A and B are shown apart, each in its own frame.
Chain A
């Protein structure tokens, strides 16, 4: 690949390559505060390739390739190159990572303990984690929470926060540093997207694990309601939210039932972010 960069995010490292300069330059700029890849050998390679003959120049279009790939994935416009890189990295983690139990969840840390939030797309888990990261919590990630297979600790994967649609303006109202925002990518397959560089402490401490203290299933757009979640329901929902539970076999089984046994779980419906943050603060004060 003509242009490439190496990225270190939490315990994982990536080499991103592309014949186009623009997406690599954008990654370099937004990931400038992240530590270098020490070994020079990345865990995964992601290639942002032309989607077909001539598509490097004519209606440039990106096919996401790499160590792990999805057959028949729809190509993306070059102007959405940052999103393509992010999707490529997520794909490598989701399909290839075996060092931890991966949960599709956001997480944030306070006092050495972690709040894990999981839910379907649109539940607000990314936005809530980003908001917490700006008000006294350490942002640990908005895509994957990594459960240590031996200790049960939560490891951080604080890549750029992927803000979608209304969440972009919400975070612009909170984060008064325009340089932390990536370009607005309109009309992507996931809607309007803008990336946000996590706070400096999230990057500085990205290799510090935290003990899981609360599992939350947030759901945005509903009247405020809080209910307990049984361990059985939590176990089933987390197997569905994990991208590598089946692949990890018995190690994943032990890690997950230990997590569910020891971490209280709640479901939170909320109508706006302030309401959710207030509920989280209350839950955090009374946690076990």
Chain B
């Protein structure tokens, strides 16, 4: 199932400081002062988001260009919602 209505955004690049550590991505979120530790596939998904916004369907297509994905974008939406819950992504329905 592909959700083409919801758009996902991330803050500007200078809102965060990133550092890779043993396969984990450390993200210091300047507006909140919170440090997030995210593991694959969240860093890969998160790195495709931008300030203009993107649907899950479009993101799924971008990811498919780089990875051998199976099924549909249902799991991707769950990961995007997880990023939104952390405050690393915003969504607009």
CB interface residues, A 231-269, toward B, < 8 Å: 231-232, 235-236, 239, 245-246, 249-250, 253-254, 257, 260-261
Q: How many residues of chain A are within 8 Å of chain B by beta carbon?
A: 15
Q: How many residues of chain B are within 8 Å of chain A by beta carbon?
A: 12
Q: Which of A230, A232, A250 contacts B30 (CB 8 A)?
A: A250
CB–CB B22/A250 < 8 A: no
CB–CB B19/A257 < 8 A: yes
CB–CB B22/A231 < 8 A: yes
CB–CB A253/B21 < 8 A: no
Question: Does any Cβ of A come within 8 Å of B75's Cβ?
Answer: no
CB–CB A253/B28 < 8 A: yes
CB–CB A246/B21 < 8 A: no
C-alpha gap A103/B28 in the complex (Å): 19
Instruction: Point out the residues of chain B lying under 8 angstroms from A232, CB to CB.
Output: 21-24, 37
Instruction: Point out the residues of chain A lying under 8 angstroms from B33, CB to CB.
Output: 246, 249-250
C-alpha gap A256/B88 in the complex (Å): 21
Question: Does any Cβ of A come within 8 Å of B91's Cβ?
Answer: no
Interface string of B22-47 (1 = CB under 8 A from A): 11101010100101010000000000
C-alpha gap A197/B23 in the complex (Å): 44
Q: Which of A230, A235, A246, A249 contacts B26 (CB 8 A)?
A: A235
Closest partner residue, chain A, to B19 (CB atom): A257
C-alpha gap A245/B33 in the complex (Å): 10
C-alpha gap A250/B16 in the complex (Å): 10
Known: A236-B37, A257-B26. A250 touches B21 (CB 8 A): no
CB distance from A71 to the nearest CB of B (A): 24
CB–CB A257/B21 < 8 A: yes
Question: Does any Cβ of A come within 8 Å of B17's Cβ?
Answer: yes
CB–CB B37/A235 < 8 A: yes
Known: A236-B37, A246-B33. A261 touches B21 (CB 8 A): yes
C-alpha gap A260/B19 in the complex (Å): 11
C-alpha gap A239/B37 in the complex (Å): 12
Interface string of B44-79 (1 = CB under 8 A from A): 000000000000000000000000000000000000
C-alpha gap A91/B24 in the complex (Å): 33
CB–CB A250/B17 < 8 A: yes
Interface string of A72-87 (1 = CB under 8 A from B): 0000000000000000
Closest partner residue, chain B, to A258 (CB atom): B19
CB distance from B36 to the nearest CB of A (A): 11
Q: Which of A236, A250, A260, A261 contacts B28 (CB 8 A)?
A: A250
List 27 A–B pairs whose Cβ atoms lie within 8 Å, in order of A's numbering.
Answer: A230-B22, A231-B21, A231-B22, A231-B24, A232-B21, A232-B22, A232-B23, A232-B37, A235-B21, A235-B24, A235-B26, A235-B37, A239-B35, A245-B35, A246-B33, A250-B17, A250-B28, A253-B17, A253-B19, A253-B26, A253-B28, A253-B35, A254-B17, A257-B19, A257-B21, A260-B21, A261-B21
Instruction: Give me the interface of A with B, judged by CB distance under 8 Å.
Output: 230-232, 235-236, 239, 245-246, 249-250, 253-254, 257, 260-261
Q: Given contacts A232-B23, A249-B33, A257-B19, could you give 8 more A-B pairs where the C-beta distance is less than 8 Å?
A: A232-B24, A235-B26, A235-B37, A245-B35, A246-B33, A253-B26, A253-B35, A257-B26
